[in-house]
Structure 1
């Protein structure tokens, strides 16, 4: 077996639907990209690109105070972040002048301009040449904002209607030569529908996910949700670590859908480190956008992201992002095609076990009573062992165990061939499997 060549430096550069950048880490359209000052600091820190905070018609939007709230884990770690901030509250002219200046000063970095306008073609026909004149590399259509703007017929109000997505996308392709990226809302039943519509409208790429409708918490003394504006609140957009599983699933759905397969994807949602980025890329993303992590930790986190991704790629023998982009997509399928004959059983490393009993409690109370609690009569010492005949391999014990790798799921040799649910005789609508002649 050949050895992996690690005597090279991984190339993190990207060419995303014609937009080139030195690395795949871009700042998403949000407060961190609201003005030249922030964007310049981001580029100095090493970010490969930015999506400029959403521009709209003049007069600009007016924001409220306060705007943010959060869900916390232990030690006040922010797990989920909620905001009710709108698009840019600065004039179109100021934004366009700053975009022009920053692009001239940083020609090697990607600058994509996010746009949100009413669903009338003349608004788009008017603004697109102005954006193109800045030298920006592309535009992103904000069809995802779930608060404030939908009440005005924009944002998610467009993204939730595939016909509108296709129509506005086609206007942008008609009135601009720049690559068009359509930002999709997750507040929809089937993410594939707006993605297909974007492609039908001529989109060069899609980006997802935008934020999820949410109310993070209630102040039980004042009886009002957070963030609070005076004596009232409203639903906002949820992002951060907590939304990553939802984002990964939606990216995968688009990547493996025959109707959108091959459509470039910019992955967004809960990206905090290089591993998160690698997971999005493995599911088909060509670049990733980051917001919450930068807001919580500052722009310097990009250096750890770049270094970690490069080192991991080198350890795996991946010279470029294309070497592993989409590699997890073929292994992502519908439930009905999973192997019904595959089986794993939990194993407890007795030397690593601290005897806390969490695995036993979880299995005994809520699962399959497959972990026995054994007590030494003489010493009173506790020991936990898996009852193989009862274990269904659900992973709950492994998840609840506080000691990493103490409990592992071990594949079993069943001697049975692959069989999915469409072929399973226990399925009342199973398909007949052809037999050899």
Structure 2
């Protein structure tokens, strides 16, 4: 199948941490990458790479039933997805054989193997040569699984400890020639500590985020959280569209951290459209991984991802993904460095306004009482911004159901740039 992007004057091919891929869209380590059948269907659909579902030592993990739950929006749209599934429950030898066969049949695709074994050097020393022998392009260290297998000292137990991250990464760099991507957990106070540790250990790249600790809902009749296993439940790993803001922030934190400078980043978390992917790239990602969207909509969504990203790049004059990577990083800063003299005021386009009153209610009840509710002669309503009271908080724009009806208009204050460190209202500005 020919990708539609080939008709456009843009090149989506990437080289990430020394790994070549025909496009930046990889399937994340998860059920969609658990076996050769799935992976080959994904490659046939156009995915540039996959991260094979996490391998571990034999005997393989044993999973429970059921395993998934979801956080739903209106019309049962899946906002977030929760799982309590463990790493692969198939024998190691079976996985290794299939990885080798798939790589031979699809040599142009990136094939990364996710690994999670006990935090003992000998366990890593034993499995790494076997993975390397498959012809795989790289390994991803699963240091963030938030549930299950604590008796083996794996997953988040390692990913929440920078010393262990550095140690395991160094073991893998010592005992393997493959590029090492360290997958980071979001269940940590400061993601930069984890990325710095990975870099100190010699990591070729990091990928993030892994799933977020979560309980999506409770069955109020049975009084059991979901997913339900018999008469009990447990917390799981949260992913899908709802975690995208968390993931974007953590990617940006690493990208703009001087101590992690130059460390390639693979973005993961809630990517379901080309716009999502472009946002991750703009904040520093050189490749992206997708899971939940593929599970909900199938492998062929990659056609739309590629086509949409390529058309946007053409419209902006970008030829390669590297031209986009990190472009928003320099414009991302700490709050104290923002311009205290910048001001915007909301404006309502009366031609688009449907007089629903949602902006008025939100502002009147919970914000700054800066929207006037006016009665027209014909009995209809009209809403107007009280400019003197508007602080430019954006709440009215967010609550408005008509896209583009409310805009935030920058105001000329005649004042120069002034950060909080410089602001005379800051009682600690001299210390800053």
Q: What interval of TM-score do these two structures reach, taking the shorter chain for normalisation?
A: over 0.9
Structure 1 unpaired stretches of 5+: 1-6
4+ runs deviating over 4 angstroms: none
* C-alpha distance in 2 between matches for 1:244 and 1:379: 45
Provide TM-score, normalisation by structure 2: 0.97
Q: Secondary structure of 1:426's partner?
A: coil
- The verdict on how the C-alpha distance between 1:81 and 1:370 changes in structure 2, with shifts beyond 3 A counting, is same
Query: Is contact 1:423–1:432 with CA below 8 Å preserved after alignment?
Result: no
* C-alpha distance in 1 between matches for 2:62 and 2:427: 58
Indicate the residue corresponding to 1:4 in structure 2: none
**Cα offset for 1:351?**
1.1
* C-alpha distance in 2 between matches for 1:379 and 1:318: 52
Q: Secondary structure of 1:416's partner?
A: coil
* C-alpha distance in 2 between matches for 1:15 and 1:308: 20
Whether 1:44 and 2:44 are equivalent positions in the alignment is: yes
Indicate the residue corresponding to 1:81 in structure 2: 81
Indicate the residue corresponding to 1:405 in structure 2: 404
CA-to-aligned-CA distance 1:229-252 (integer Å, 9 cap, x gap):
000000000000000000000000
* C-alpha distance in 2 between matches for 1:8 and 1:302: 16
Q: Secondary structure of 2:418's partner?
A: coil
Matches for 1:144-183 after TM superposition, within 5 Å: 144-183=144-183
Indicate the residue corresponding to 2:195 in structure 1: 195
Matches for 1:195-274 after TM superposition, within 5 Å: 195-274=195-274
Indicate the residue corresponding to 2:314 in structure 1: 314
Q: Secondary structure of 2:259's partner?
A: coil
Indicate the residue corresponding to 1:325 in structure 2: 325
Whether 1:338 and 2:338 are equivalent positions in the alignment is: yes
Whether 1:293 and 2:289 are equivalent positions in the alignment is: no
Whether 1:388 and 2:381 are equivalent positions in the alignment is: no
Indicate the residue corresponding to 2:3 in structure 1: none
Query: Is contact 2:117–2:152 with CA below 8 Å preserved after alignment?
Result: no
* C-alpha distance in 2 between matches for 1:432 and 1:240: 42
Q: Secondary structure of 2:258's partner?
A: coil
Query: Is contact 1:23–1:48 with CA below 8 Å preserved after alignment?
Result: yes
Query: Is contact 1:10–1:310 with CA below 8 Å preserved after alignment?
Result: yes
Query: Is contact 1:143–1:185 with CA below 8 Å preserved after alignment?
Result: yes
- The verdict on how the C-alpha distance between 1:241 and 1:151 changes in structure 2, with shifts beyond 3 A counting, is farther
Indicate the residue corresponding to 1:358 in structure 2: 358
- The verdict on how the C-alpha distance between 1:370 and 1:40 changes in structure 2, with shifts beyond 3 A counting, is same
Structure 2 unpaired stretches of 5+: 1-6
* C-alpha distance in 2 between matches for 1:277 and 1:352: 30
* C-alpha distance in 1 between matches for 2:417 and 2:120: 54
Indicate the residue corresponding to 1:3 in structure 2: none
- The verdict on how the C-alpha distance between 1:432 and 1:95 changes in structure 2, with shifts beyond 3 A counting, is closer
Query: Is contact 2:8–2:310 with CA below 8 Å preserved after alignment?
Result: no
Query: Is contact 1:84–1:237 with CA below 8 Å preserved after alignment?
Result: yes
Whether 1:347 and 2:360 are equivalent positions in the alignment is: no
- Name the Cα RMSD after superposition: 1.1
Query: Is contact 1:67–1:83 with CA below 8 Å preserved after alignment?
Result: yes
Provide TM-score, normalisation by structure 1: 0.96
**Cα offset for 1:42?**
0.3
**Cα offset for 1:375?**
1.1
Query: Is contact 2:397–2:407 with CA below 8 Å preserved after alignment?
Result: yes
Q: Secondary structure of 2:122's partner?
A: helix
CA-to-aligned-CA distance 1:345-397 (integer Å, 9 cap, x gap):
00011111111111110000000000011113x43221111011100000000
* C-alpha distance in 2 between matches for 1:264 and 1:427: 37
- The verdict on how the C-alpha distance between 1:244 and 1:50 changes in structure 2, with shifts beyond 3 A counting, is same
* C-alpha distance in 2 between matches for 1:8 and 1:211: 35
